[in-house]
Structure 1
């Protein structure tokens, strides 16, 4: 079982369509089972896609409009293997986009969920945050996969409050198998901040529990939100509610394992069994 997370930085990349094709080819080549994507954008003024063309799509909220340049919609159509998928808008991104979260799954989606985790719910403000989840059958077990793009520890809409709300939302799901992943915007090596706060809640970082892992860094330059950055950062994670046997954790889409398609690299873990 392979799980991947990636902040796509969509429609801010040069040669964006080529990069979508490259990502689709990587997903197909490595036969990835679940993919969580952040900064999954669509132009607010683009044409709406008729429902009849939304193959294997399952909405997470009512009245969501999928538009022709929705990154997840295009990616799903580029994949050579059928994937089930969902997408939810979170806030305005880069002035002209509906910025959201997406999950693609080789397994049929049984349920979806979407919840605010920020105190702020102003769609025009980038500090507004949600989580998106799907339930699917993994290794014969009903499993939740949850995707999030969180704020910073010291921001006015702090990661701490967002994570407290996440814990409240997920409390009833943690009794079963649950994975949460995404762009956490908190550096793993920085003590006493968001990463430690997360780990102290009993989550299992699959990077740390992997039998074989690499350096783990997913941001290696200055990017939006990290404008003064001068060192490699590990801020994108895949975590589980219960211990699982992780064979490998790899940074991907980094120029070595897959082409660079975003200002973030991705993370892919392989879990024992199928």
Structure 2
């Protein structure tokens, strides 16, 4: 199974349509089975997409509205594979009134779902409001849950990571008897001891990067970006976890200018896993 996670920084990028085309070309080349994307945005005032034009869209939240410029919807129009997909909004972003959310694409049908707030804040107009999105599908003849999240920072004074992670664990507890993959932007640096990464690793989770037989340096942020202003070092903050030991053939940074074009302020992570 081939997985990709990417914080898309959607509609905040220059030359956004060109970069969506570059991302589509990379996905078409790599033929991913699963894609999780964070910061998947749409303009709140854009035209609504009719239900019959949504393709293999899976409704996780019946109140969700997909608009014409929804980043995932625009991307899907350029993909060779007719992916099953879903998207939920999490909070409003920027003065442009963007709906910012989480999207999951899968080659195989989506059969169940779960989502919920992991932040104490549930104010849609506050950018610190956070959710996770989980969907069930089938891979290699067995059910698999795919979880997508975009978390806050370890030392955030309003929404610290630890309480968000504890809430995510509570939401996922009923599903832990099945294989779960948790993909996303966790905003916690793997190389910093005693903070978010170590806290996650004390739980049931297994980092596919450390388990991989073949891997690179794993760094997905290499400059100053939104949320990491003034950063001058390489950071590994985007991950693909499994809730049990799995055999990982490889883990590589994607969309970094070497392995695919740069399409976001984050690079992506791609992993090949045997299940």
- CA distance in 2 between counterparts of 1:143 and 1:28 reads 23
1:204 aligns with 2:241: no
Aligned residues: 273
Q: Deviations over 1:121-155 (max 9, x none)?
A: 00000110000111000111100000000000011
Mapped contact 1:36–1:102 kept (Cα < 8 A): yes
Q: Deviations over 1:46-66 (max 9, x none)?
A: 011111101000111121110
Which residue in 2 is equivalent to 1:9?
9
Mapped contact 1:10–1:40 kept (Cα < 8 A): yes
- CA distance in 1 between counterparts of 2:198 and 2:252 reads 22
Q: So what's the TM-score if we normalise by structure 2?
A: 0.98
Which residue in 1 is equivalent to 2:113?
112
Secondary structure of the residue that 1:171 maps to in structure 2?
A: helix
- CA distance in 1 between counterparts of 2:110 and 2:198 reads 32
Aligned pair partner of 1:228 in 227, 230, 237: 230
How far apart are residue 202 of structure 1 and its match? Answer: 2.0
Gapped regions of structure 2 (runs ≥ 5): none
Which residue in 1 is equivalent to 2:254?
252
1:130 aligns with 2:101: no
Q: Deviations over 1:98-128 (max 9, x none)?
A: 0000000011111122111101000000110
- CA distance in 2 between counterparts of 1:2 and 1:98 reads 28
- CA distance in 1 between counterparts of 2:227 and 2:215 reads 27
Gapped regions of structure 1 (runs ≥ 5): none
Which residue in 2 is equivalent to 1:157?
159
Which residue in 1 is equivalent to 2:26?
26
RMSD: 0.8
How far apart are residue 181 of structure 1 and its match? Answer: 1.0
Secondary structure of the residue that 1:169 maps to in structure 2?
A: helix
* TM superposition outliers: structure 1 runs of 4+ over 4 Å: none
